[in-house]
Amino acid sequence: MLYDVIIIGRGPAGLSASLYTARGNMKTLILGKESALEKGKVIENYCCTEAGSGKDLVEKGIDQARSFGAEIVEEEVLDIKKDKYFTITTDKQQFQGKAVIIATGKARTQVPIDHLKRFEGNGVHYCAICDGFFYTGKKVGVLGYKDYAVHELRDLERTTKDIILYTNGNELQMSEGNKKYLQDKNISIHTKAIKSLAGDEFLEKIIFQDGSEETIEGLFVAYGSASSIDFARKLGILIENNNIKVDAEQKTSIEGVFAAGDCTGGLTQVATAVGQGAIAGQKAKAYVQNLN
């Protein structure tokens, strides 16, 4: 299904963007689940509305977006690819969009494993499709326990069959289909908690909390759900201080991709998310109109 604009995230940034696209006759799809705002018990600093719960605000935003024709699908996005249009892969299906707005909130926190950062680019990677090639035929690990980890693992299988899934003490939280896939492919799953990574210049081994060790040549981090930074890496979008870099029109460094809200850094508040979402929606609409 081809949409004019696909918005990833149904928090205040994504919902605000949709008002400008859907109300401007753009066929709009919003993909996303719970917003950070829904955790806020009382929001009293958002202008022009009385204090209320964050959940209430989001529910009103969802009704408002739907009233203008935006479709909202509660699915997790695993991948974005750019060809003629953008192809968005979720945990269940694929959608195509002429423009994309990333409004996925704050990028996830660092994985609590010692020395992970030290080996970034030298054994530790965050994008299988980008860097998997360097590990052709080598022994690699995928760090994760959700559908996103299996998505990355499947990408890696094109270059090597020697893959271990490390869950770092987490239970598998993924679709039955993906669990069956791991089983059918006989993928080794190591569930022990990891303490640190070790090596000289390049990653050489994983050290577990129980003191045991395992040699490995590469580790692909796909921990939890895919974040704005993962999407940025896959598309080659510029990142600055772990935030998506945007200009005053909420444009990223890739044509047709806009970003708004907490994923761009700055003042991480509802007012900022709504303001940036409005600009992103308006500019995405103009971009699509120029294509047609």
Q: Which residues bind ligand FAD (CB under 6 A)?
A: 8-14, 31-37, 39-40, 43, 45-46, 76-77, 103-105, 225-226, 261-262, 268-271, 273
Residue that is written with structure tokens 């303001």 in the block: 275
Q: Give whichever of 45 and 241 is closer to ligand FAD, judged by the CB atom.
A: 45
> Inter-axis angle of helices 176-184 and 147-156, to 10 degrees?
40
The nearest distance, CB 205 to ligand FAD, in angstroms, is: 30
Q: How far is the CB of 286 from ligand FAD (least distance, A)?
A: 21
Q: Considering beta carbons, is residue 56 or 204 the nearer one to ligand FAD?
A: 56
Question: Cβ closer to ligand FAD: 137 or 177?
Answer: 177
Q: Whose CA is closest to 129, among 50, 234, 240, 9? A: 234
Closest CB to ligand FAD among 238 and 271? 271
**CB of residue 202 to ligand FAD, shortest distance in Å:** 30
Q: Nearer Cβ to ligand FAD, position 89 or 196?
A: 89
What long-range pairs does 130-137 form, CB within 8 A, spacing at least 24? 130/233, 130/234, 131/218, 131/220, 132/156, 132/158, 132/159, 132/160, 132/220, 133/159, 134/218, 135/159, 135/160, 135/217, 135/218, 136/160, 137/162
Provide the minimum distance between the beta carbon of 58 and ligand FAD in the complex, in angstroms, as a whole number: 8
Cβ 231 to ligand FAD shortest distance, Å: 8
Of 84, 54, 20, 58, whose CA–CA distance to 275 is shortest?
20
